[in-house]
Amino acid sequence: MFTATSLIPVLLASVAGVRAGVQELWWDITYVNNANPDGLFERRVIGVNGTWPPPPIDVQETDSLIIHAKNLLDTPTSLHHHGMFFNSTSWMDGAVGVAQCGIPPGDTFDYVVPINSSGQTGTYWVHAHSSGQYVDGLRAPVVIHPTNETYKFDDEYTVVLGDWYHQQHDTLMQEFVSIANPGGAEPIPNAPLMYFAHGSSYLPPISGKSPSPVTAATGFNENATIPFQPGKTYKIRVVNTGAFAMFYFWIDGHDMSIVEVDGTDVQAQPVDMLSLAVAQRYSVLVTARNDTSANWAIHANMDTIMFDKVPAGLNPNATSIITYSPSVSTTNLGPITTYTDIKDTTLIPYQIVPQLPPSTKTIELEVVFDTMADGTNRAMFNMQTYNSPLVPAVFSALSMGENATVAGAYGPLSFVVDHLDVVDIVLKNSDAGKHPFHLHGHKMQIIHRAEDYTSSNTSLNPPLSEGQVNPLRRDTVQVGSMGSVTMRIVADNPGVWFFHCHIEWHLEVGLAIQLVEAPLEVQARVASGSVTPPQFMYDQCKALGKPTSGNAAGHNSTTDLSGLTEGPFPQNNGWHAKGIGAMFGCVLTAVIGMVTVTWYSFGGDLTEEEMEREALTKQEAKERKGRFFGLVKAS
């Protein structure tokens, strides 16, 4: 346990010897064959510079980061630096269809992340934002060190968590969006992964282990360890880089205190375990024990309640080791009976930022999943599923002139807000599962939660309280079934920003909106020369055959969206013309049958020859028509 004095903020210089300035990285995005991090199955993954996992990024708050991302895949790709603000340059955000067209095969995109002007520090991550490619491995942690640390510690490590699939994303997606899966059961991971970074490198496997050769440089799960020295205090950063599974994380025999949430330092709060939805991050302070008589287990367990079923043979729990001495045994306190979710509204930011003034614009979104008219299961906000526009929304904002303020020009589920509007996003989750939601380009104040937004019971659905002293600020928020959350931002970052569920399967079936923020201000800043979209963005769209001007469909119109994909739409249940006709036919047949029975009961009769001729006539009529009660005749 760290001492009370160590909780007092101190001015602690960041890692010595690291030069501030422009930090440039050259990433060739490549396929890597025969990766086997879980030791269960070799598969092709997407890595960087021919290796996997992609390297951790470790920079200072005074740095500007540039990643030269060259696409050596056979399909377009992109990189999204999760949680970064980008300061009026949303075309650097990496969300394909919103911020860019994608990097064509063989081409390079120079991502400029202006950390030094964003005021951001803490724990983040980078991942593909194109066609689910981060499910196949294109993901890595990002740490931004402050000039002055809020809390004192002796060393730090980053714990990378993620769910792992043995099949390629595209194969899983075809199975997920299928009439054979009308209930929308998500692909279930084959294993959890846990591995560790220290600075800009991953920790190697435990000495004496023989992991799979392609991933042998990094320790995973039972082959991974963090070295502790007695009495020292460590900052442990934990990030969930998964596609689906929430994780519960704890360390046997050690106390933890939360000190950071999604890049926001908070007042230290003791906690027994962390709950991390996809894309969430926490940092904890952990003080090492004063003896070296035992090593201790680190646990990261997937939340299987989210799974449609738990397959036989799946071990949802990853276990690694805190090592004090390689010559002693490991103490594993075994399974626990109860998981606990963190109530993030109880966490208090260290830097006081009062609640923003009451909103000038409110966006209400209700989460719905349903089987659509085409037989597939889709996700919807307000009964509408999201489809990517033909023209990435940032290009529409730049090219539409005064019409850029018309929300309809960007396609369904697009919302336009004015510069410096105070915006409330009220998220209501009618689904049976819990969902993590992420807003690009902003940290959100979490100003209200309800356990049941449909309830009139104020203990389950309390009123929103204005004037809060210092609400939590984070970029990824989880909402439970039937729960709601109100997130408040000020629209001070002109551009187009994605808001979506960070369960990758749900994003890809439409659980997203576009927040178009101050489009006229974007145009003015470009016209003044204060920001400039790079020409290579337009060139790359052209190479991919994608338009870069006009509305979502590429037309110079606020209403003509012809050519834009919409839907599928929910089944239109109820009585329709074909159903009414079928019912009429059934009733008519029944009446004729009853009349026939009555006819015979009163002595009426037909010869066998007459009955055969009548039956043949009816059958020929059916065949000529080619339909029987609305079912098409097989050819």
Is the pLDDT score of 586 beyond 80? no
Task: Please give the pLDDT value at position 17.
Answer: 36
Q: What is the pTM of this model?
A: 0.88
Higher pLDDT, 238 or 2: 238
Q: Phi/psi at 121 (nearest 5 deg)?
A: -140, 170
Q: Cβ contacts of residue 458 below 8 Å, gap of 6+?
A: none
Is the pLDDT score of 13 beyond 70? no
Residue 583: pLDDT band by 50, 70, 90 thresholds? Answer: low
DSSP state of 204: P
DSSP state of 551: S
Q: Could you state, in order of their start, the residue ranges of all structural domains in the chain? A: 22-346, 361-544
SS3 498: strand
- How confident is the model over 234-255, as a mean pLDDT? 98
Burial label for 356, CB within 10 Å (0-12, 13-18, 19+), is: middle
- How confident is the model over 72-78, as a mean pLDDT? 98
Q: Phi/psi at 468 (nearest 5 deg)?
A: -65, 145
* R_g of the chain, CA atoms, integer Å: 29
Instruction: Please give the structure tokens belonging to residue 214.
Output: 């392609």
Task: Please give the pLDDT value at position 9.
Answer: 35
Task: Please give the pLDDT value at position 609.
Answer: 57
Question: Distance of CA 376 to CAs 175, 307, 370, 372, 385, Å?
Answer: 10, 19, 8, 6, 12
Q: Do domains 22-346 and 361-544 have the same CATH topology?
A: yes
Strand partners, 499: 439, 513
Residue 631: pLDDT band by 50, 70, 90 thresholds? Answer: very low
d(CA 591, CA 579): 18
d(CA 558, CA 408): 6
Burial label for 117, CB within 10 Å (0-12, 13-18, 19+), is: exposed
> Which of 536, 629, 619 has its CA nearest to residue 579?
629
Residue 213: pLDDT band by 50, 70, 90 thresholds? Answer: very high
d(CA 458, CA 349): 26
Place domain 361-544 in its CATH homologous superfamily.
Cupredoxins -  blue copper proteins (2.60.40.420)
Preceding omega of 392 cis (within 30 degrees of 0): no
- How confident is the model over 497-525, as a mean pLDDT? 98
Is the pLDDT score of 69 beyond 70? yes
Residue 494: pLDDT band by 50, 70, 90 thresholds? Answer: very high
Is the pLDDT score of 484 beyond 50? yes
| Chosen CATH of 22-346 out of 1.10.240.10, 3.30.420.10, 2.60.40.420, 1.20.1050.10 | 2.60.40.420
Task: Please give the pLDDT value at position 2.
Answer: 35
Q: Report the alpha-carbon angle 32-210-198, nearest 5.
A: 70
